[in-house]
Structure 1
């Protein structure tokens, strides 16, 4: 009488591990890009909200952006990081350069976001959007 063995053979395990390895090597980079794009979108939304707050400040303060600053690159009217929650993992550092008639808002990537192809995101008082990174164009970064 023949005894039937239970379990997997070494070859079956190696095939399964190879398949998992191939799937992981393909999926992980796409996952990282997806996360970076989501974090970039949050930074963009924050910059747009920041610009709106700067415009409201200007209207309430004699058409002057400069007095919205409380320190070098920091404002009294908005957070200095994305996400704004200080307990969350910071993905972008926010800063502003302003004078009486104009401003430029900057979101500089930090931590895991530093490898994002779009790099530093900017938005100025004229509504011009910028990106200083390896991406092919600004449009790609702000879509």
Structure 2
């Protein structure tokens, strides 16, 4: 009794591996999933960076209110607000929701996505009002919200974006 084995080229032989059609199907499915997931993820990343800018502006407004209560005027000097060293000047960058000065090394290893500026309004011998802005930098520059604006009365608005302030703040 002899057992005949079929040759390797015989289609009835045991097959191993994937066909080209199976591999192409998997690649197409992965491409579709990536095309849906990546833009959605990018939107969440931009929203998280916007949150950091808003947090920095609200912190700056609280520091300005404290300075006004103690000294009777607003200031455009970061060191008087406890933000940075004596050589620091606005505009400053936002690192992880905190305002820092890259020139002094504060946050220099991280990427800044917003830059904060302060404009003061003179009222007699004192600065009676301020407006703080957080302008997007780098890849955040194409964000649909644009520049965040917060003034001394707590009014929140946007400049240069395509979305209304209510959707961004």
- TM-score (normalizing by structure 2): 0.75
Secondary structure, aligned partner of 2:158: strand
Which of the pair has more CA radius of gyration? 2
Cα offset, 1:20, TM superposition? 0.6
- 1:111 paired residue number: 138
Cα offset, 1:86, TM superposition? 2.8
Cα offset, 1:69, TM superposition? 1.9
Cα offset, 1:98, TM superposition? 1.1
Indicate whether 1:93 and 2:115 are aligned.
Answer: yes
CA–CA separation in structure 1 for the residues paired with 2:69 and 2:109: 32
Query: C-alpha deviations, 1:102-141, integer Å up to 9, x for none?
Result: 0011000001211211010010001000112011x11000
CA–CA separation in structure 2 for the residues paired with 1:6 and 1:115: 50
CA–CA separation in structure 1 for the residues paired with 2:76 and 2:57: 16
Secondary structure, aligned partner of 2:128: coil
Secondary structure, aligned partner of 1:8: coil
Indicate whether 1:10 and 2:38 are aligned.
Answer: no
CA–CA separation in structure 2 for the residues paired with 1:123 and 1:28: 32
Q: Number of aligned pairs?
A: 134
- TM-score (normalizing by structure 1): 0.88
CA–CA separation in structure 2 for the residues paired with 1:4 and 1:111: 57
Secondary structure, aligned partner of 1:59: helix
What are the equivalent positions in structure 2 for 1:126-141 lying under 5 Å apart? Answer: 126-132=153-159, 133-135=161-163, 137-141=164-168
Indicate whether 1:38 and 2:65 are aligned.
Answer: no
Structure 1, unmatched stretches of 5+, are none
Secondary structure, aligned partner of 1:108: strand
Indicate whether 1:64 and 2:92 are aligned.
Answer: no
Cα offset, 1:81, TM superposition? 1.4
